[in-house]
Chains A and B, each alone.
Chain A
Amino acid sequence: MSGTQNFLLELHCEEIPARFLQPLTSDLSLSFKTWAVGQGLDFSGLDTFYSPRKIAWRVSGLLTAQADQTETQAGPPQRMCIDEAGKPTIQGQKFAEKWGVGFDQVRFEQPAGKKEPCAVVTITKAGRPTVDLLQEALPGLVASLHVPKAMRWGKSEFEFVRPIRNLLCLFGDQVVPITVDGVTARNTTWGHRLYHRQHPEPVKIKTPEAYEAALEAAGVVVSMEVRRTRLAQQVEFLAAEAGGRVVADAELLDTLAEIVEFPKILWGDFPADFLELPKEVLVTSLREHQKSFCIEGPDGALLPCFLTAANRADDPEGFVKAGNEWVLKARLYDARFFFAEDRKQALSERLEKLQALTFQRELGSYHAKTGRVVAITKALATRLSDDDEHLNRAMEAARMAKCDLRTLMVGEFPELQGIMGGEYLRHEGAHEDVWMAVKEHYRPAGAEDAIPSTPMGCLLSLCDKLDTVVGCFAVGLIPSGSKDPLALRRAGQGIVRILWEQGWAFTPGDLVATALRIIGEKATKPAAESTEALLAFFRDRVAYQLELAGYAGSVRRSALAAGWEDLADLKARCEALSAFAEDARFASLAQSAKRIGNILKDESPAGDFDGGLLAQAEEKVLAERLSRLESAPDQVALLAALADLAEPLEAFFSAVMVKCEDQALRAARLSLLHRLRQAFLRVADFSLWQ
């Protein structure tokens, strides 16, 4: 039995793009895992590490050799291997030779399926040392790694994410001398660039376990998790020190942890007069251009300072802080230039310029889209309110919604679309309803994001998304499988969420018909075809909305099957059903509902029946209860009545034979069940409960 050792491999490269670090590290460790399993090399743990110049992983408790394997080989019958004198025959000796053993190791046994004893040998295949296997396999594992944007360098044809400059490969305290593109592994690597200004020699790593500590001593924190945690702690501490809290951005924190080898948060200030820029502009500019966090005060307004990461532990002469402040100021100058230039003309003057901006080939320009969104807004706004002022404002917001696409600021920061339009309108003195609606009409940007905070914003968002979704379907751009390049599912989900949260009475059918009418001749597909596809699309979005809202599977399935288009009603039913979901009687009710469904299959019972025909006590009870069900004032009362019905139904099915000989009685029973099912279906299809 062989022992185990820890194994470590590190590829030290020129700076690897942050976005590839995690995927490459995990791909490499996965392909190692697959290989090790295939070789019968067990191990107990696998840790991965990465930093800007390193991809590494450590395998703990890796077998130092494959286990020996024994196998039994059978040969010719005994009578052909030994002659009458008891000596080995030529054939017998050849068999022993074939397997590399002396004749004295040949046994004679009767293998299963043979009629007589045969020559048998047991041979042992020695397991190979792990170090040999690693040496053969590792270069291939590295070279066959899929690199999304591979490069060549120098004169070599080797391709990798960035030039490989050093290999560290240890099994226990032994170097595994692999070579990749001319670089041969050793037991040393490189620490932080700054560290090596004083220490020209490479860092020696004695054993795989010593890896992190040795590198930290040389200025590199090689664990991504450790870097992120330390950065997060410093961010929180410094924000509190500034008297505020950080504008949270998990993605930015990850990015910062990926671009430094040593995690250090740096505090910087910027001139307070830049605070006249809209908060969103500052946050976006700081994030996109300078990878910096903003800090907001207790009132939500930004403070004139920022936090970003530096790739060193200290800032002895304040150069790092000064440099970052200097660059940020240059960026903010530009933002202020855009903000001032954009306001030299009214936002509305950009409306005509939208004609030169294509929304979609068949559907035309953003100017044309604006026209349609205005028309949809008009159609829907009149149904929400009969106030003319309200209608005019809603249409004004729709007209202005896309104008900011032609501003310098949105040209520089596309993610500020909507927000800038709203800000510019606010500065122009537009009504708050209007600028707020424009500002938020791209929301919700995803499942995490909120819907617009005002009803008019919700209306504009809904109309804009509706035109996008219905327009695209009408020209055949329908998402399929994983393909949804225009993010129509997200837009559709936004529509459903707005309806769901606002409780508006528009049904998807309504909305689709309105939008299709307005799209009119731009459609290239027949309206009926588009409508069918759109309703299926919206049904899926509604189903997903129920999931997002957190309803249990049984509630969702049974409620949806009883109708999905009236979202307010669907919501009420789901709420009521959820309140009863834990009630054990519902499981029984579901069983009974399924039986009713089966019985009524292929039957077409009349709605009315003569109660006097019913003979057994168990069915009379049901008939009595029927009126209570049918007259239940709301979903909750109906469900309470249904729950009470579970036991009588069970009793009914165990006592009553529905399809009896007596045709009149049979018809009455079928009608009774039919009426019961109709009452059920007002709230849910219980046959889908489980």
Chain B
Amino acid sequence: MHIQELILRLQRFWADRGCLIGQPYDLEKGAGTMNPLTFFGALGAKPWNVAYVEPSRRPADGRYGENPFRVYKHLQFQVILKPSPAKVQDLYIESLEALGIDFSKHDLRFEEDNWESPSLGAWGVGWQVVLDGMEISQFTYFQQVGGLDCRPVSAELTYGIERICMFLGGYDNIFDLVHGEVKTDDGVFPVTYGQMRQREEFELSAYSFEHADLGLHKTLFDAFEKEGWRLLKEHGHFLSAYEQALKMSHTFNVLDARGAVSTTERPMVIKRVRDLASACARAYLEHEEGAATPAEITGKGGAK
């Protein structure tokens, strides 16, 4: 299946089940969770179902376009369902069937994999979904985002687009995947993932492992932080301030890929991103719902 066909089918499936179809957010980020549609959407009490593709950058995963399985930038398909439906696992399985996966011939497991994003102050519990031994999705019940309890709880489904495509097509090299076909008066031209992205992988890997100016990135990190707090404190602007937190996060990832952040510094640097993101989350809730934030609602029940 072509990459674009997979995306279109997932969008159709989730749109038919009452999801808004969102768009990627135009800033570098490590995961679809960082898109404001998820970060802010998972907060507060209002119902919120959204699905979108998110290109995700992991500088440390760059392999110069030479590794057939691992890339600097990959595509995630992200679904947020708030509150999490009772049959959410069944829904997810149906979405795979919509991609043509016949479960009478495959092995499906949900293995514990709890998700945590220290730089977003977010965590949840859930699984990696394993199809015939391969992790194809991350399935998470958000418990906290931006340091605030999620009430109600959202289910987050993250599909690894390229992996699923490779798996379905039996590809041994990510760059052989076909993104789609270009049809012109002269004929039909299939375009591969490699044609579209291999050079980009090479340059971005070289950038994060060799050419990035570390001094500049350290300066940028500090500058984004300052800018973010200024926007938040002086203007109460949590959306533009959150963008600064996203930029901090990516800048940190570039530094980290180069081993420029020591193990002792690491937690402190991450905390600086988290502090800004969490402050944005609080400001968002105050704006949306008045002063009371869900974290202040303390009614508890059930097992501890």
* Chain A residues with a Cβ under 8 A of chain B: 14-15, 17-19, 52, 142-147, 149-160, 162-163, 165, 181, 193-194, 197, 259-260, 290, 308, 310-312, 315-317, 319-320, 322-324, 326-330, 333-334, 337, 356-358
Contacts and interface: CB of A to CB of B under 8 A. Distances in A.
Contact of B125 (A149, A320, A327, A356): A149
Interface in B88-111: 89, 93, 103-111
Contacts of A149: 114, 125
Contacts of B93: 193
Contacts of B167: 323, 326
Majority-rule SS of B interface residues: loop
B5 interface: no
Contact of B67 (A150, A156, A333): A333
A154 B84 contact: yes
B159 to A, nearest CB: 16
B131 A323 contact: yes
A337 B67 contact: yes
Interface in B139-167: 141, 143, 150-153, 155, 166-167
Contacts, number: 141
A327 B106 CA distance: 14
A208 B70 CA distance: 50
5 contacts: A260-B109, A311-B107, A316-B104, A320-B106, A358-B263
A144 B55 CA distance: 43
Contact of B303 (A142, A153, A315, A333): A142
B83 A155 contact: yes
Given A145-B303, A334-B69, A357-B263, A155 B104 contact: no
Contacts of B132: 319-320, 322-324, 326-327
A358 B266 CA distance: 13
Interface residues of B, number: 50
Contacts of A150: 302-304
Contacts of A17: 112
A143 B303 CA distance: 4
A197 B302 contact: no
Contacts of A144: 303
Given A142-B303, A146-B304, A323-B131, 14 more contacts: A14-B110, A18-B112, A149-B114, A151-B124, A151-B143, A155-B152, A197-B104, A316-B104, A320-B133, A323-B134, A324-B134, A326-B167, A329-B172, A333-B67
A225 B228 CA distance: 56
Contacts of B109: 15, 52, 259-260, 311
A143 B302 contact: yes
A76 to B, nearest CB: 50
B170 interface: yes
A335 B112 CA distance: 24
A330 B104 contact: no
B302 A159 contact: yes
A643 to B, nearest CB: 61
A191 to B, nearest CB: 14
A157 B127 contact: no
Nearest to A334: B70
